[in-house]
Chain A
Amino acid sequence: MGPPRRALQEIKMKTFPNLLGALACSVPLWIAMPTRADDAQALRTAIAAERARAPARQYSRTAFEVSRALQSVRLSPDGRQVAYLRQLGQQRSLWVLPTTGGHARQLLPRTEADELYWSRDGRWLFAKARRSLATLAIEGRDGVRIALDNPRGMLRVDPSQPAAVVLRERVRTPSGERWRVVRRDARGQRTPLWEDERYIHDVALDARGRLVALMRFDGDHDALYRVDGNGRLREALRWTTIRDQAGLLAATPEGDLLLDGDVGGNFRRVLRLDRGNVLRTVHADPRGEADLDRVVLDPATQQPAVVSYRSTVATTHGLGAAQAQVAAITRQFPGRDIGITIGNGPGAAWLVSERASTLRDARWHLYDPRSGRLRPILEQEAKGSPPPPETALARKLPFAYRASDGMRVHGFLLLPPGLDTARVPLVALVHGGPINHFRTDYDSIAQLLANRGYAVFQSNFRGSTGLGRDYALSPRGDYGNGRVQQDIVEGVRWLLAQGIGDPQRVGIAGHSFGGYSALLGVTFQPDLFKVGVAGAPPADLGWSMRRLHEFGNQGAGAERSLAVTMRLLGLDLDKPESYAHLRAQSPLANAGKLRRPVLLIAGGEDRTVPIREVIHYAAMLRHLGKDVSLYVEPDGGHSPTEPLPRDAYVYLMEEMLHRHLGGAKPESPSPALHAHLKSALRIVGKGAP
């Protein structure tokens, strides 16, 4: 028998991080749009540019899958080396490339790690796998293996020590859990820093390694505490969180705390809390529409140096001393989404990542701050299966439109290059969550659909994240066939009015909440949507939320509360009347109204949207004689992760849309896929091959 703990952990792993997960395919990117996106004229100009491009040939489904050949590319603080993981088949290896030139060196021929961290002194690597953290000496063969009790047990690299990390440990007791923060140095030496009965999100350490502040989940809100010399807590801030936790960036020698979050404002930004607990904004989106996406610290000062925003248009800015250099770099990559890591000291190399919506796999460069020269690296290593050329891929066009209630709603549009936009079929893609958003980056499903000749509308309907706290909270519980669905429908109608898409050939697709929205679309807007593709769709969102709260893996957790989040969104799980409308407007309760064909895709072990909910709905549709197809990945979770089920997902979607909207015919399934579909396709819809 295997050790019981491993099994437990694996199951937890499967079920843990998928909170209302989006359709899984993401690498950040941005697209250059010279004009404000709410300007219809600007969009028309962009559309004309797309129209003028050469049409693309059809690429195979696998060409759109993001390559995993290169992962976790990390610059050492001293800027001398770049560490990265290489994946070949099932085997992952760990490499180090000197930035001064020369060949990369293999450090580990085989590793389970999925994330790399450098020690502050640059002499150690911490390779984090799901349940363990391995320390590796760059010179020599030393190292230890530290067990992690969960994949998120790593808090940060300890900035106060040459080579140490700060970990969160869970202590299980028969009556509950306790949380410990400990320092583990590269030799495995363990130093307890804090123990709490509540979940610690993050900590800040001073230069001497003392814990001076912590962020904690206090049951119905998050709070930032300062820790005094006697270990007493003083609350400095409190706030509520919808999705992304606030983070502690650093403690300054003067005792100020640097953090990122949306505390005290609408947008997520870089904040500074001084000793008097006065909060100041250090940097926010100059465009005034996006939440902060990522902040990079200067290893020399431990101060924020580079910030990036990626919700509508990807921009990256330098702070303080880095400002000029960052501007110099971004100038060299017009229209690209740039990520920058700074090396310690004037001569140290910087690492630059380059992404775009038309660039399937990221590119990497080294920047010499003294000469201002850029040098591409890891070109060979990044090579996996050949990506479709950028000339064949659709640019993500950000735009905004006025909803019927006057609110400005955001979205992206992808157009097949070189086609008559008025005659192409249109597919509305709805993201999951709904607490999530479409980003500027490369998106394999949207790109594949565009390649097959569909105009693709990615709706960041109200309630989406990344666009400020107010935007995210604006639905006020009106999910169902309500305000949120209306945003999507109105987005489609607005695009049709702009001459985009054939009004007779419109479909709707999405995963999780997006799948729910797709079902709503084909149930309540059959005149608009001729076909629906719904992945892991809750057939009754009210039932699903209640179940998630009571029995699911996202109920009252140590680190967050679904009930609190739902209350923020206007749904009180303790007051059934607050979500009774969801039941009445659910696709399940209105199954009899369905007139359009629908494809349902689900995972047999989905812990977020239980399979029984999908099956109950499918059975109901069958019972009523509706045109439904059902694919169930036998051991699949909330989203498919294995290549074959992913291929099945995309193929079935492609085939369904082809059959009902007339996009390009999908390439026929491989024998393996054919065999898989034979067993996993539990209902074959009318007219399916």
Chain B
Amino acid sequence: MNANDHVIETRALSKRYGRKLALDNLDLRIPRGRIHAIVGANGAGKSTLFRILLGFLPPTAGQARILGKDSQALTPQDRARIGFVNEEHTLANWMRVSQVTAMQRRQYPHWSQDAFDGVIGHYNVLPEQKVGQLSRGERAGLNLALALAQGPELLVLDEPTLGLDVVAKRAFLESLLYRNAADDCTVIYCSHQMEEIERVADNLIILERGQLKNMSAPDDFTARVSHWVADVPFKGPDPRTVPGLLEVQRLDGLHHYLVLDQSDGFERFLRDAGARNVQSMPVSLDRAINAFLAKNHATPVAA
């Protein structure tokens, strides 16, 4: 496989903070194009991963490449190809919008004024406004506009809507999707907002404890998780014996099981456990991911 086909490629990437492993032997290859969502609980290693990928942290072991370059040796030209938007939307508060824009315009060789105008058009941002006076949503929009106008090959959006209200969130997503950003670049979208992921993501990557847990289309992931309702007398089977168990709940005398990668054979298991009535239901992406991330024991699962 040509390295260029992967915007991000890590091999056995590990990062240790004291006694904690932030990245654990991570092998991740993200192909070029489309929007990739990276999901993980806090501390799953997403920020560490990005810092290593952008050369701001050295790995403890393994390699990381971004756009085919060693992430520890990125040149300014390489950086021009990578857009990065963080959750704080750090911009120089003391500058006017027009000044910030002018600065970026001069720094980025592939600056697209159209792209900038297109995005900023979604916001009521005036050029003479000071950045420090913008609302959080407006800052996010400006930041996105700046990032997209750079014409990056890879755009990393790290929790871009964190702290935004519903309206601002929607505006952000719309401005992102309106541009058809993924037509021109690969987008990595980190978020805890499942409805956003559902809307934008073509690929769902789940990190947990520094390990890759899933990489597939969101629908495929949803399909892996199934919801079973069974009328099991007494306490039901020992949860430890339940295959692929993500979550079990007892509601109105019925046992609700969320399980991973179980086919019809699971019904048989339930019935063998004495279930009188067994029903299978689809689950939403939101529910599936939450259950996946909430399970508190490690189950070896092949990607």
A–B direct touch, CB within 8 Å, in complex?
A: no
